[in-house]
Amino acid sequence: MGDDDTSGGASRVLTSVDVDELPDGLVVTDRDGVVIEINRAASRLTGVTRAAAVGKAITDVLPFRDQDGREWWKWLDPQGGLSIRTRQPERALHLPGRQELLVAARLVREPERGGPVARVVITLRDAAARARLERSRADLVSTVAHELRSPLTSVKGFTATLLSKWDRFTEAQKLVMLETVNSDADRVTRLITELLDVSRIESGRVQIQRQVVDIPARVRRIIAGRVAAGEPGERFALEVRGELPETWLDQDKIDQILANLLENAVRHGQGTVTIVVEPVQWGVAVSVRDQGEGVAPDLVARVFRQFWRGNGRRRGGAGLGLFIVKGLVEAHGGTISVQGSEFRFTVPTGAPEFA
């Protein structure tokens, strides 16, 4: 990767295999700005190969500039400034004819405290990825604000009206208003619960408490709950095919998966909702289908995204249910797919491994 006097000795040398495994771009120069390493990610982002970069001045092969056209390396000035300076915060830079990159630098000094700069380690990230993340966060804030505003406006309106004009309403009118407030408060609670589930899924903090779960029994329980809430019993059909193996799953999360899929089929589908539970090679598969048109083939890739609502549908829900379903299925080590009006997920069989 370079001579030992510029790489800090054998103990500090990074191999090509090491740096090529990094997800971000990495460029290392010596004290004079001569490139001594560039990894595969950096080559992909900059279009400069290792062969073309190593041994050349960084200002020749990677002439980074800011939005005002100033040369980044000259501005960085590794040999200048205070001897305690070690880091350069990330900035948006570009190469001639290339997309914008996020570039940060670390000045490696020897000795570490107050010594001269021995190497400059530069990291590169795709600015477009950060822009997408920022747009996603903005969409999240906008959608959550929209979903919260409607029920909270209703709650505020009814409570303010009752407080100011209590004696003008009949008992029946008061009951209707309070029932509406209660329903809207449930909507807010449900959205907050879903957002917490999304947070746990995205951060990998979903905890699975495994026990033996009878999946057909859980389906019957979910159906009974919907019938008790007013759905006609003939709307649902359960088919159990073959002898099911023992499954160790998180019962609460399986209930959540099933409830979301049935809710989706009832709300957006048509006709009978059929649930099929059957053994497969490595576990148990559950299919939930209705008699509606289902998801168009060109929308399948979007179904499990956050806040997805297909075909212009805006009725109920925040569009988080299917994202949560996918996260919970995968947390069990399973898979889920959709084809037309059928959602099918598979969970593995067998007892958990106890430490």
pLDDT at 310 (0 to 100): 61
pLDDT at 317 (0 to 100): 56
Average pLDDT, the chain: 86
pLDDT at 189 (0 to 100): 87
3-state secondary structure the chain: CCCHHHHCCHHHCCCHHHHHCCCCEEEEEECCCEEEEECHHHHHHHCCCHHHHCCCEHHHHCCCECCCCCEHHHHHCCCCCCCCCCEEEEEEEECCCCCEEEEEEEEEECCCCCCCEEEEEEEEEEHHHHHHHHHHHHHHHHHHHHHHHHHHHHHHHHHHHHHHHHHHCCHHHHHHHHHHHHHHHHHHHHHHHHHHHHHHHHHCCCCCCCEECCHHHHHHHHHHHHHHCCCCHHHEEEEECCCCCCEEECHHHHHHHHHHHHHHHHHHCCCCEEEEEEEECCEEEEEEECCCCCECHHHHHHCCCCCCCHHHCCCCCCCCHHHHHHHHHHHCCCEEEEEECEEEEEEECECCCCC
Angstrom distance (rounded) from CA 147 to CA 143: 6
pLDDT at 165 (0 to 100): 93
- Reported as a single tens digit per residue, the pLDDT across 104-141 is 999 999 988 888 999 999 999 988 777 776 776 777 77
Angstrom distance (rounded) from CA 42 to CA 62: 10
pLDDT at 347 (0 to 100): 95
pLDDT at 325 (0 to 100): 94
The partner residues of 239 in beta bridges, in order of sequence, read 276
CA distances from 327 to 305, 334, 343 (A): 10, 10, 14
Q: How far is CA 184 from the centre of its chain?
A: 28
pLDDT at 8 (0 to 100): 42
pLDDT means per 10 residues, the chain with 355 residues, are 42 58 92 94 93 95 91 90 86 88 92 88 85 72 78 91 93 93 88 86 86 96 91 94 93 94 90 96 94 88 78 57 92 94 92 51
Tell me the pairing of strands 117-126 and 100-109. Answer: antiparallel
pLDDT at 201 (0 to 100): 86
Q: Extract the tokens encoding 328.
A: 């919970």
- Reported as a single tens digit per residue, the pLDDT across 243-280 is 999 999 999 999 999 999 999 999 888 999 999 999 99
Q: Please report the domains of the chain, with CATH numbers, ordered by start residue.
A: 4-127 (3.30.450.20), 131-203 (1.10.287.130), 211-348 (3.30.565.10)
